[in-house]
Amino acid sequence: MLKKLLSSLLVVAFAVCFCGCDLKRPQSDESEKDSRKYLALDTVIDITIYGEHDDVFDTMEEALDDYEARLSVTEETSEIAMLNKSGGEYKKVSTDIYNIINSAKRVHDMTDGAFDISVYPLVKAWGFTTDEYKIPDMEEIERLKRNVNSNNIMLDPDTLSVRLMTGMQIDLGGIAKGYISSKMISSMEKSGVESAIVSLGGNVQVLGTKPDGSAWRVGIQHPDYSDCYIGVLSLINEAAITSGGYQRYFVQDGKTYHHIIDPATGAPAETDIVSVTVVTDKPIDGDGLSTAFFVMGTEKTLKFLDENPEYKAVILTKNYDLLVSKELKNSFEVSDIMSDANIVYF
Ligand code: AMP
Ligand code: MG
């Protein structure tokens, strides 16, 4: 069983019904829908499905349980923990884990190493896996950095085996949720579901439209006010995946240290981005990319998006610029709370 099944009929937080700020309350719809909320994968998971699909919720719960058991870095028996202990040997993994690592390597290549699952020992050294935060000394950072390089993760597609270089450890937390949401949505589709939305922390993916044919409305959280949105996306068969330093951080001596590590420095990324949301029909890439964009900062991200127009983004910068892909102009409604922001469509 999952750690906790919180409720069987909760209003889904991400479907914008009410936020206490200035966003409009969407018209209520009469169609039957059911929502469930779970705590798994270190985050709150919300699923809403239109129609009678109790059995689908059961399947989803089992799947989440199973992913958690295989992906957890702290659970001794998980596939990832076993890999991290495998000391330079090829280790057979399940198809899911193989696929996620394969995607992670692809995003690593696409982003010139800004996304790197082998940054895990540094995430640990900064205390983000245990919430016992600390600033590691430079010597430790330099030592741990030496093993960070996803090019040294070898994959054997014939045997579904993975080899980590000795001393290397990985964590799929920056990309697995995109993979899991896409698997959940395709499994629902196979079970006859036509209209659904899943949210795993900052990863939201929608299936189809709402029963009345309208798009799903997905709020992008305001970094400073957890019950407000910087704006609302209208999505059909797409995902919106957000990364931001505000999601997990600690403050020491007046300085904020967040959970996204720049593999080049071994420290929390020095970035001009506060929050970045990737909108895409490729949620796995989108999850890796949103983490990478945060590391890369605005300039490199805009160049990337110019060269890869299949990905769209909403970026909030420290200068209070709100940078929005021009393709989203008609599907992103900026919240009134952002009236002081400099809104730029690129
Ligand atoms: P996300 O919430 O998808 O942006 O992922 C953040 C999580 O990914 C962190 O909590 C770390 O576990 C992990 N992570 C941190 N920095 C990186 C990085 N540069 N590349 C890949 N994963 C990272
Ligand atoms: Mg990510």
| Percent of the chain whose pLDDT exceeds 70 | 91
- Looking at the CA of 287, name the nearest ligand: 2
Task: Please report, to the nearest 10 degrees, the dihedral formed by the alpha carbons of residues 83, 89, 93, 99 taken in order.
Answer: 90
- Looking at the CA of 267, name the nearest ligand: 1
Tell me how far the alpha carbon of residue 7 lies from the centroid of ligand 1, in angstroms: 29
Q: How many CA atoms lie within 13 A of 9 on its CB side?
A: 2
Q: Whose CA is nearest to atom 7 of ligand 1?
A: 174
Q: Which of 42, 110, 116, 123 to mutate to test the pocket of ligand 1 (most atoms within 8 A of CB)?
A: 123
Q: Tens of pLDDT along 111-121? A: 999 999 999 99
Q: Which of 168, 259, 278, 301 to mutate to test the pocket of ligand 1 (most atoms within 8 A of CB)?
A: 259
Q: Tens of pLDDT along 173-230? A: 999 999 999 999 999 999 999 999 999 988 999 999 999 999 999 999 999 998 999 9
Residue 17 confidence (pLDDT) above 60: no
- Residues sharing a CB contact under 8 Å with residue 312, sequence separation 6 or more, in sequence order: 278, 279, 280, 305, 325, 327, 328
**Which protein residues are within 6 Å of ligand 1, measured from CB?**
115-117, 119, 123, 128, 171, 173-174, 202, 243, 259-261, 263, 287, 290-291, 295
Tell me how far the alpha carbon of residue 52 lies from the centroid of ligand 2, in angstroms: 32
Q: Tens of pLDDT along 69-93? A: 999 988 889 999 999 999 899 999 9
Model confidence, pTM: 0.93
Q: What is the pLDDT confidence band of residue 20, given thresholds at 50, 70 and 90?
A: very low
Q: Tens of pLDDT along 281-333? A: 999 999 999 999 999 999 999 999 999 999 999 999 999 999 999 999 999 99
Residue 45 confidence (pLDDT) above 50: yes
Q: What is the pLDDT confidence band of residue 62, given thresholds at 50, 70 and 90?
A: very high
